[in-house]
Each structure stands twice: as structure tokens, then as C-alpha cells.
Chain A
Amino acid sequence: MTSELSQTSATMRDNADVAEVLGRSYSAGFITKIEMTGLPPGLDEGTVRAISAVKGEPAWMTEWRLQAYRHWLTMPQPDWAKLSIDPIDYQAISYYAAPKVQPKSLDEVDPALLETYEKLGIPLHERAALAGVAVDAVFDSVSVGTTFRKQLAAAGVLFCSMSEAIREYPDIVRKYLGSVVPTGDNFFAALNSAVFSDGSFVFIPRGVRCPMELSTYFRINAQNTGQFERTLIVAEEGSHVSYLEGCTAPKRDENQLHAAVVELVALEGAQIKYSTVQNWYPGDENGVGGIYNFVTKRGDCRGDDSKISWTQVETGSAITWKYPSVVLRGDRSVGEFYSVALTHHHQQADTGTKMIHLGKHTKSKIVSKGISAGRSSNSYRGLVKVEKGAEGARNYTQCDSLLIGKQCGAHTFPYMEVKNPSAIIEHEATTSKISDDQMFYCRSRGIAEEDAVSMIVDGFCKQVFRELPMEFAVEAKKLLEVSLEGAVG
């Protein structure tokens, strides 16, 4: 293995000029110049109150945040992940940043912002908007606009920013917020609960099949600012929704913190499909800058026969710490996790899922594809837990790692806790590298090295890409190609 690997790296040296020409291009790295308002750096109870006040929140919400903040103070930052993280100075971060002018409707949105989203391929003006996809655009700490609201409202679907939901639909928010990820769940979730500024809210009423894809596009722009978004999706009995989020940030030399919480609730017979294409700025080829991405995502299959499916394509961020999970509470409920995590240069990812089987005959499926290149480190960490009452629970896990070059690392940490003897758990894991044989085979057919690598990587990820909505699968594939530029060659 070692000798084969060094052969690969010899090949790379031979083609160092190709690598130089390509380098890594992060096309979303531009900065939008816009007048901003916000809070100065620092975090105390005053900060929490100020965020709550600027959003015009009711007293119960302020109290909820403060409780979370006090809990957070008692918690240490977790260090169990296979990540090396420089100390984070939580007092040096600004916890709220927003464009100065708050638009009342999409027509009033600052042209500079519209241009930003257009450049990112997400036109917000309805006449130009992506057909069949409603978008909520979150810029730093606030939502700047949501498209197709009228059409969605006609179907009974509520889709708006979290801030608005707290004001307009307090009963629903109060009932479900924190019901899946409690305020004190973990260090980053507690921090998020205290200072979250915006995010998306989705409510699909009983029996409604959401007429279009819903998506949120998160953009970090301001300097020294953390983004703490909070998303809540509730699917009532028998309803269906497919939701996608995308994320980008400008190239900056300092690390920026992104600590999000996403909660999904699926009632009886409901289905939620949640897809992520995460392309936060990963830092440069020397590991300078990039987003620290600490995210808690959890879905609760609260009703019988419900289904929650996570699909993620993670190519960005300097550090990714993320485990989208499903609590399979209802009988015969189904949880799925499909993941492609790609790390290059000095990126670090520790990502995976948790499937908690509580109900009878619950099923879960995990397909994880990790790709490491450069000097990056890529870990899969997953828990499959079957509680006593989960009669006939089934899990299938497939966990594949692909190495490109010899200085990267891939690790797999599967955990299993099974308390019911009728459970069937399967785990398959492979680690492979792009072999010299595969490269030569492609090249001997006329396919150049870089193209051969993208083709092989694309093939490796096929099972996951299949789960993405069509246009996003194309996007994800392109993203991988860009992210791998210079990895071989």
C-alpha cells in the first residue's frame, strides 16, 4: 500500500505545473459592500437581551434564550471529535449583523443584496426565480427575503424567516422549538439557542404535499461575525416536504464561527427530505481562514410511519462538526442519512449521524462517502442505538472512504448500542484509494488525469447524488470537481 501511494505522489510531482495552474478556486469568495448594523463583539446576558429586543420577541422567547445562555456558561466546549481546533474567543465575535435597511418585501431589498444572490446563482426576483423552488435568503444574521410566499400560502404551507415566525406564529413555534434539540443539548446548541438570529421556519399542515421545493440560502458576509441560524420544520400528519439549504461565505483570513441548529418534526405518516449543499469558505491551501462549522441537526419521527431523510454534500468549511440524526420514535418510522464529505488541503471533517430506534419495526439506512485529499482529515462518526422497546429494528450502514494522495487521513468511528435482541444491524466499511490501475485505464482511453479523478470520485458518490433533487445533484457534482482541483495532476 505504502509503495503504491508513493507512486501516486511521484505522479503528482511530475505534474506539479498542472496543479499550479489549477490551484483551488472558490468562486463564492467575494464580499458584498453594504451598509451594516449590528452588535459589537462580546457575549453576556445583555447581548442575548439585545438580540431578542432587536427582533421584537415576546418575553417567553427572551427567557428561553437566557436560560440557554446560563446553561451554556456551565458547559465545556466538546473535545471528543477527531479535530484539532484553535481556541475560539467567544468574546471576540459579533453575534448580530444585519443590513441597515430592513426591507418590507422583496421589492425593497437592496440591489447589492439581490446582486449577491444572483452571483451565487440564486435569483430572488420572482420573475427570475428558480422555477419550482421557493427560497428564503439569509444574509448574516437576518432573512432578506422569501420567494413564492403567496403560492405556498395558498397551499397552506408556512415558509418564512424564524424571526417572523416567532412574531406571527408564536403558538406553533413555542410548541416545537427546542422539542427536538433541547437548549442544553450540547455546547454549540446551547450557544445557538441563546444567540440565534434567524433561519427558516416551515410548517406543512396535515395532508398537504408541499407544491414546490423549499430552500434556504445562507450567506455569511460581515467580518468577525458568527452566524447562528435556527431552522424548524414541522410536517403534520400525512404531509410531505423537500427542503434544501446552501451555504457560502467570502474568503477571509480569519476563521469564522457558524453554529446552527436544525430541528425537524414529522408527525404520523409525514415525510421530510432535507438536503444540504455546504460550501462555506474552506480556507486557503495553507489552512488559513475558513469557517468553523459546528452544527446540530436532528429530526424526530414523532408519529408512526413517518420518514426523515438527510442528504448532505459537505465540501466547504475549515472544520465540520456535524451529525444529522433521526430519533425513530413512531412505529415503522424510517430514518435515512446519505452523505458525501470531501476534505482537501488542511480541511478537517468529523461528521456522521445518529439513528436512535425507539419505535417498533423502525428502519434506518446510512450511506456515508468520505473523500480526503491534500493534508486533510476526514472522519465518519456514527451511532446506531436500538432501545429495549424497538422490536424488529433494522439498520444498514455503508461507510466508504476514498483517499487521494498519501498525506490525508480517513477514519471511521461506528458506535452501536443494541438493547433489543430482535434488531438486525449491518455495517459495511471500505477504504480505498484511486488506484494507479484506474487512472491508467482512464488515461489509456484518452481521459486526462483531472477528468479521470472527477469521474472516479463522481462514481464513488453516485449513491448519494441520486438522493439529491436533480438540479442540485448537478450542482454538487460541479462543486466536487472545483473542490478537487489540484488534488491530482
Chain B
Amino acid sequence: MSLVMDRASAQHGLRAGAIVLVVFGLFVLLGLAGIGFGSTWISLDKVLHVIFGGGEKSERLVVLQLRTPRVMAAAIAGAAIAFSGYLLQRITRNELASPGVLGVVDGAALGVVLFLALYSNESNALTVPVAWQPLAAATGALAAITLVFILSGRQASSAIRLILFGIAVAAVAKALTTIFMLIGPIYQAAQAARWLAGSVNAIGWSEIQIMAWALLPVTAIAGLLARELPPADLDDVSSRSIGLNLPVYRVAVFAVAALLTAIAVAFVGGVGFIGLIAPHLARLLVGRARFAGIVTSMMLGAMMLVGADLLVRVAFAPTEVPAGTVTAIVGAPYFLFLLMRKDKTNG
């Protein structure tokens, strides 16, 4: 009996591993397609040729300087936002939680708009290095999530309350963002609007480097924190009675999740719903397995943003529609679907 059971659980592990591999394969294919497609089509073999050091000069320019940074930025940011969403969904024990719902994205947006308002000069240039922009976004995001926590007060352990206050704080941040864009000079508004919708079209290698270096330590800390997630899956009394310092742990996870999203959106803008959908799909695919869940979430998040960017390039060319519009158009109905399904299971 138990032998059969153990084989079943081994098969379960194999299945999760196989799914991770398949998702990885799709991710690589999509990345290559993202580099190949555009105003001029570069076939996959040429793309690979360039990546391994060959190819014509013009192809090298398009592939290495224009398209690869775009795909890289989208992949890194999408993965970071998805990881953030994974952490939030686990720690709140609620599949509706996401960086967007908890006010993180709108808080970051407010931070960026304030930053642009304060540090731009009249020739539309920043008076401080662009490297400060993620710091502004992170500050905004952390301020928003801190406010959500303070407002929830004693009921911070109730996921529904957190989400309700998150939505409220997000709405206020959004309103303030709009006000600053309206009362600020017009060049800032244009710059801010492009950021708000979320797009990866103007990102170069230097920005990717900053983003990657900023994300690296935060991702490492998030990975370490994620090891303590299973005890936090239990109710508050149980998780604390087995020795998890839940109040401290919860704040740490929220802070790290907020930082992951803040750094990502600081560079690619307010792309929505990736943090909601990617971890949810990953859970459907690989179940509760933690490592597989995190890796799958990150790859799905990366694929979603790379795919959205690819779609806007192919479908709307030559107009540069922000990739964030695609993730929102796909994501919003998915959120509604989850809400309605939850209603059904509750009542």
C-alpha cells in the first residue's frame, strides 16, 4: 500500500519537474521569437547565429542593441513581479492577492511621478541620474504597503482586509498620480504616462544592468524567506505555536515582495496583473511544490511580459502600444473570473 503511495508521490514530483522543463522550453522559444519578430523579421537561425557571435552587422545591431534588451528587460521584470505575486499569495493565503491589488504598483507609480516632477528640468532631462528612479518607485511602493498594513492594524492577518485596504490605498495613489500629472508641466505628463502604461521599448543594456543588480540581492533574500513559507501556510495560532515569528515574518515577506515589484515596475512601468495570474497558473500546473512553484511562476511571468511586448510590436506596429495594456486586457477578466469562482465556492 505505502509502496504504491510513495510511487504516486514520486510520480507527482516527476510531473512537476516535467512541467517546469516544458515551461522553460516554451520560455526560450518565446524569447527567441521576441528577438526575431519586429519591423523586420529575422529568422531564428540568424538570431541564434548572432547570439553565438556571428551574423551581419545590421542584424547584430538589431538583435543585440534593439531587441534583445527589450526581451531581457521584459523577462527579468516579468519574473520579478511574478515572484512578488507568488510570495503575496502564499503569505496572505489568498489567490486574489497580488502586488497590484495590494497597492504596490500604484504606490510605485506615485513615487515615479513625484520623482519626475521634482527632478526634471525644462528641457525634459533629469537633473539626477536615472538610476534613482527605481529608488523612487521602491519608496512609493513601500510607503503604500506600509500604509495598507497600518490601516489594517490588528486585522492585518485577515487577507480580505488587507486586500480591501490595498485597493483603497491604490485608488488614492492613482488619484494623486493623476493630480500630479495634471498640475505638472506637460513634458512630465507625457514621460509619466508612458511609464504608467508599462512598456519595455526604450530600455537599454545599462538600465537592464541596474535592474538586474538591484533585483539580485532582493531575489536572494526572497528565496531565503520562501523557505519559511510552509509553516506560514497554517492559521496564525498554529504557525506561531510551531515557532514561526509570524508578525515579523509577514512584514518581511511583504517588504521583499513590495521591493521586487517596485524595482521591476520602476523600469518597465505599471504592468498589471502579471503578479496575479502567473503564480495562480503556476499553482494550477505544479501544485504546492515550493521550488517548482516559484520557478514556474517566474518563467510564466517572464513569458507574459515578453509575449505582451511581442504582441504589441506585431499587432500594432508602427504605433508603440504599451505592453501593459495587453497584460491588463488579458488580466482584468481573469481577475473577475477568480472573484466569481471564489464567490461560488464561498456561498
A and B: interacting chains: no
* Interface, chain A (partner B; CB < 8 A): none
